[in-house]
Amino acid sequence: MTTAIRRFNGIIKELNVSGATKGSLSGLKFVAKDLFDVKGEVTGIGNPTWAKTHGPALANAWAVDRVLNAGATLVGKSCSDEFAFSVDGINVHFGAPDNPQYPDRIAGGSSSGSGSAVAAGLVDFALGTDTGGSIRVPASYCGIYGFRPSHGRIPVDGVVPLAPLLDAVGWFARNSLILETVGSVLLNENRSAVFPKKLLIARDTFELISKRLKPAVEKAVEAFASKFAQAQDVHLEPYGWEGHAKLYRVFQGRQAWKIYGDWITQNDPYMCPSIKERFDFTKTVTEKDFEDATEFRNRIVSGFAELLAGDTVLCMPTTSDLPPLIDASEEDLLRNRARNMNLTGVAPLARVPEVCVPIPLTEKTTTGLSFLASHGNDMMLLNLCRGLLQS
């Protein structure tokens, strides 16, 4: 970015909404991304013009109520990249949430405030959304746990959408036990006793990561592979991987313009230039483009269902490099986003769950490693996370 960016703790408004007196989340504090409705508060989705043209929410989002009823306390609304249409973690109106482990680098977005608050220890967990990496990128950059569930598993009632066929409610946590406990609440399932038998290592994806990440990532993969009854290398190219980044852009774009196009045309809001450019692209996507993308997406869903059948998980890097510097140019941010989309676009297109776990990079820093499972096998994936990395 060419101008100075304000750094802050990621919380745009402090709240104090107590949860139930008893429950599995009793005593824990959380924040909710500014896409989640909180009764009596305006859901601003990171853009002041949107906030001015919308009234306070009449009820809590389903996910907010769910964790409140389990005993957690809501202590704030957290910053979102505008319209959740970025993975940078820079909001031109509010600033850039801190990255505690890399103070001179971005936290990642669009659930930037939620990830930052968890990483700084301000809360125990945080709610966010993930359309194309908005939970997983901040988790990887900030050194925390992040979970994107199977598409459609968690109700999105009371959450402002971006692309409904890709959007998912996700969450961050300080450790794997809290991550799993929140998952049990939101997914309405007991903890799983199943540890997957087979690990697939997506070797072509590891070719995308930078040289400064590769040694640590490969060391972690080797250590994790020893814990499985079977581990083998696979390549994702036969499952449409090489074309999925372009597909994702079209598939997401048509949905985003249908939701926001009329409002943007009528209100002409000021927004981050790179996000405006993305919206300018979305209005050029035709219905035929979307139909072709949908057909391609359906083939990816079928292919990954076959690949991940049974008690199988897939391992791949979460992000391609260290987070960009806070003063990185728009061109550098765009290149970083494009590289990451080759990794983070897989799970939403395939409709499968993905967990990001922190692995050591240096004595003081980490990067993210991801595991994916078949659609609906979310609790098995959370059990895997806790079993691999007890925290």
The answer to whether the beta carbons of residues 316 and 205 sit under 8 Å apart is yes
Distance CA 13, CA 307 (A): 43
The active-site residue, picked from 33, 80, 274, 320, is 33
The active-site residue, picked from 80, 110, 116, 320, is 110
The active-site residue, picked from 80, 134, 176, 320, is 134
Q: Which three-class secondary structure state does DSSP give residue 277?
A: helix
**Token pair belonging to 162:** 């971006």
The answer to whether the beta carbons of residues 351 and 325 sit under 8 Å apart is no
CB-neighbour burial class of residue 283 (10 A; exposed 0-12, middle 13-18, buried 19+): middle
- CA dist list (Å): 272 to 40, 107, 279, 361: 27, 17, 11, 32
Cis preceding linkage at 192, omega within 30: no
What is the DSSP secondary-structure string of 156-170?
Answer: -TTB--S-TTT-EEE
* The residue to which tokens 């669009």 are assigned: 110
The answer to whether the beta carbons of residues 184 and 379 sit under 8 Å apart is yes
**Token pair belonging to 27:** 């005593």
H/E stretch holding 138: helix 136-142
Distance CA 12, CA 29 (A): 16
- Residue ranges of the alpha helices (H) in 163-309? 176-187, 203-206, 214-225, 244-267, 273-282, 287-307
Q: Which three-class secondary structure state does DSSP give residue 105?
A: strand
Based on the residue annotation, tell me whether 134 is a catalytic residue of this protein: yes
Angle CA(60)–CA(66)–CA(70) in degrees, nearest 5?
Answer: 130
**Token pair belonging to 370:** 């991801």
Angle CA(157)–CA(162)–CA(167) in degrees, nearest 5?
Answer: 60
Size of the chain, expressed as the number of residues it contains:
391
The answer to whether the beta carbons of residues 40 and 15 sit under 8 Å apart is no
Based on the residue annotation, tell me whether 226 is a catalytic residue of this protein: no
**Token pair belonging to 133:** 């990496």
Based on the residue annotation, tell me whether 370 is a catalytic residue of this protein: no
Q: Which residues are catalytic?
A: 33, 110, 134
